[in-house]
Chain A
Amino acid sequence: MTALRQSLELGLVLCRTCGLAVSRESLRIDRRCPRCQSRIEHRTPFSTEMTLAWLIAGIVFYIPANLLPVMHTSGLLGDADSTILGGIFEFWRAGDWDIALLIFIASVAVPFTKFIAIGLLLFTVRRNSGWQQHQRTTLYRIVEFIGYWSMLDVIVVALTSALMQFQVLGTAEPRAGIAFFCAVVVVTMLSALSFDPRLIWDRPS
């Protein structure tokens, strides 16, 4: 499908830090860039394995992040523990569909998209699939980009807890769920980071 040849075929490896093309032969002796002394790998070692490990950690963390309350509010109208999904439903029912949608995208849609996208990338790379290589690369870039938007929830809770301190009238405190949610975001970002997108283009020789 493509006329481009792969670096491996040319016997070259690119330094990802300074862009120096190093002959593959020299890497057998020294795995450092002769120019910038960065570590040079033909492909990130154990990339898929690490990605998978982070991904699984992210999925595991995502369960308590949704089940546990993220915020505790107390005030004149009583005490309430709110979970992420509960909050979305509440906003939706109260008619604030835009806010509900925003929280839904940031807290549910994005993490899910990431799980599925990374899972898909891993699956196809393991299978050495040549399917939709361009789209998969785009997908990877999107995953990398949207990763930190999930921190929206964490920031909302952090701000609310910091600002809403009116003693009797109303106080908000973070709860364990938000820590798990934060862990989900961090771990999935690490997962995306440890994925080597060059693997997408590796074809069985």
Chain B
Amino acid sequence: MSATSVPPSHDDLPTPMVQNRRLIPRLVWVVPIAAAVIGISLLIRNWQNAGPQITITFLNGEAVQVGKTLVKYRDVTVGRVAAVGLSADHQTVVVSADLSKDAVSLLKADTQFWVVRPRIGVGSVSGLDTLLSGVYIGIKTGAATLSERHFIGLEKPPALSHGPRGRELQLHAARAGSLSVGAPVYFRQFQVGRVIDENLLPDGSTRVTVFVDAPYDGFVKPVTRFWNASGIDVRLGADGLNVQTESLAAVIAGGLAFDDGPIEALPAAAMPGEFTLYKNETEAMAPPDGDPHFVRMRFAQALRGLDVGAPVEFVGVNIGSVVAVDLGYEGQDRSFPVIVTAKLYPRRMGQAYELLAAQGKTESEETIAAFVGTLVSRGLRAQPRSASLLTGKLYIALDFLPASPRAAFDASNRPLELPTVNGSFQELEASVGRLVKKVNDLPLEQIAADLHTDLKDLHETLADLHNQVLPNAEDALSALHRTLDSADRTLDVESPLQRGLAETLSESRSTLQAVRELADYLDRHPDALVGGRRPQKMPARPATLSSEAKP
């Protein structure tokens, strides 16, 4: 504007203007620098947030999707599957997952991973949300101090994903029965825990892992006995029908119960948290049986009705059970004896066992065999007996039968072989047979014929009686009636007989009076008998006399 007045020769004028304006274009570099700063800060933050990458090995990668499947701890997302691949030997699926930084502390050496899928069981339904959202990988952090980046995933979820407080116990049993994971554990009918795992151990027994929740785990003591409370326990005893069950759920899904066992029966050196699982409450509460001893018995008779598990009773006390019933063969006499193997628990003999133990007779197999030998020489025999005539079941009785013939006993046999006698039920059968034979031999027909004749005679006699005797009897009875009637009349007070009798009596009384007076007089005057009656000299005396005699 005013610059027009400035002569064009001023060449140096634009210079400061140009310098002034240079700053603004320079400022534009702030933008890329800012962009770079933002980008780098993002990168740094990302890098800082980026947690570890872990690998988990599963048997299969069903429904696990790269970039979609999440890794969740307590239902909070802590990571995401980054890759799914096969292991080098193509036997397993290797899942790589990127975890967030705060998940690092979860990665212990014993941290467990599993794929959460919908699962429906009798006791529980889980993972239903994954039906819609797809599967995810669950974490259960471990307690180990070592951290780890490579894991072997579980094929089924652990029953306790996030440790509630309580105690985990291992129960050992020959068989688990109808137990399943999630089955309840009862303490006096209260549910205090549940079964969290079941394993088949290499030796074929089962190990059941149970979890008892926190306030109740104090009830589990070293003396605690666990038993299988599945199903319904129906018992018909002397006290009537007894039905016992823990709960309806236990009936369906199976269950466990525990309670304090007998105090004196403290188990030996069991690991803490390891218990035996008994078949039922009765068995659980029984004092410990100790180790069984096996014996063998050879019976020369059929043993129909003797089952495996049948009791073996020693003097009426159940000390064991039959474990096998086999058929043997005797080459000498070509017979087929029945060989019964039984296990005996000497500890069940109670006090007797303790006494024997105190005498050192239970120390070794040899001392036991020797002791049994002395018992055999005293007449110990095994004998099959009928437990119930109704069912025909047999049991083995070990009893002292001194009358039985001597039997050989080899103390070196293993298992020990006990001498046997034939069953009492056979003798019973024989005597019953004899009885039946006698009954058969009776001349029943003859007796019947005789009886028939006798009866006929009797009948005739009775007819005679009716026809002849009875009418006469009737006459006799009416005559008797008349007689009694007249007797009645005779005895009546108003009857002439009575009156006469009364008079007679009164007269006889007077007579007697006179006789007494005479006797009195004679007493006083015995001479009167000779001299006769004297005239009355002393008036007083006769007065008294007369007054006495008059009445």
Contacts and interface: CB of A to CB of B under 8 A. Distances in A.
Interface of A: 25, 28-31, 45-46, 49-50, 53-54, 56-58, 60-61, 63-64, 68, 76-80, 86, 183, 187, 194
A50 B32 CA distance: 10
A78 B65 CA distance: 13
A78 B32 contact: no
B4 A29 contact: yes
B35 A28 contact: no
B39 A68 contact: no
Contact of A63 (B3, B28, B39, B70): B39
18 contacts: A28-B13, A28-B14, A29-B8, A45-B25, A49-B25, A49-B28, A53-B29, A53-B32, A56-B32, A60-B32, A64-B42, A76-B133, A77-B133, A77-B134, A78-B133, A78-B134, A80-B68, A187-B31
Q: Chain B interface secondary structure, helix, strand, loop or mixed?
A: helix
Contacts of A194: 28
A11 to B, nearest CB: 13
B6 interface: yes
A61 B132 CA distance: 37
Contacts of B42: 64, 68
A64 B8 contact: no
B133 A29 contact: no
B435 interface: no
A30 B29 CA distance: 28
Contacts, number: 69
B21 interface: yes
Contacts of A53: 28-29, 31-32
B374 to A, nearest CB: 80
Given A50-B28, A78-B134, A187-B31, A29 B39 contact: no
A146 B294 CA distance: 97
B25 A50 contact: yes
Contact of B21 (A45, A68, A78): A45
A52 B22 CA distance: 16
A181 to B, nearest CB: 13
B519 interface: no
Interface string B1-23: 10110101001011001000110
Contacts of A49: 25, 28
Given A45-B25, A53-B29, A77-B133, 11 more contacts: A28-B14, A30-B3, A46-B22, A46-B25, A46-B28, A50-B28, A54-B32, A60-B35, A77-B132, A77-B134, A79-B77
B39 A76 contact: no
Nearest to B132: A76
The 10 closest A-B pairs by CB, nearest first: A46-B25, A57-B32, A60-B35, A56-B32, A78-B133, A57-B35, A57-B31, A29-B3, A53-B28, A50-B28
A25 B9 CA distance: 11
Q: Chain A interface secondary structure, helix, strand, loop or mixed?
A: helix
Contacts of A58: 35
A183 B35 contact: yes
Contacts of B355: none
B8 A28 contact: yes
Nearest to B30: A53
B43 to A, nearest CB: 8
Contacts of A64: 38-39, 42
Contacts of A31: 14, 17
B469 interface: no
Contacts of B120: none
A99 B55 CA distance: 36
Nearest to A80: B68
A86 B68 CA distance: 12
Among B14, B21, B28: residue with most chain A CB under 10 A: B28
A117 to B, nearest CB: 18
Nearest to A60: B35
Among B31, B36, B77: residue with most chain A CB under 10 A: B31
A54 B21 contact: no
A139 B149 CA distance: 53
A29 B25 contact: no
Contact of A57 (B17, B25, B34): B34
A28 B8 CA distance: 8
A120 B134 CA distance: 48
A45 B32 CA distance: 19
A179 to B, nearest CB: 10
Contacts of A187: 31, 35
B37 to A, nearest CB: 9
A104 B31 CA distance: 27
B1 A30 contact: yes
A149 to B, nearest CB: 22
A27 to B, nearest CB: 9
B39 A61 contact: yes
Contacts of B22: 46
A45 B18 CA distance: 10
Among A46, A77, A78: residue with most chain B CB under 10 A: A78
A75 to B, nearest CB: 9
Contacts of B3: 29-30
A63 B39 CA distance: 8
Contacts of B13: 28-29
A58 B68 CA distance: 31
Nearest to B22: A46
Contacts of A63: 39
Contacts of B39: 60-61, 63-64
Contacts of A77: 132-134
B527 to A, nearest CB: 159
Contacts of A79: 77
Contact of B6 (A29, A54, A183): A29
A86 B13 CA distance: 58
A14 B29 CA distance: 29
A194 B31 CA distance: 14
Nearest to B136: A78
Contact of A60 (B11, B36, B70, B134): B36
A31 B1 CA distance: 10
A78 B134 CA distance: 8
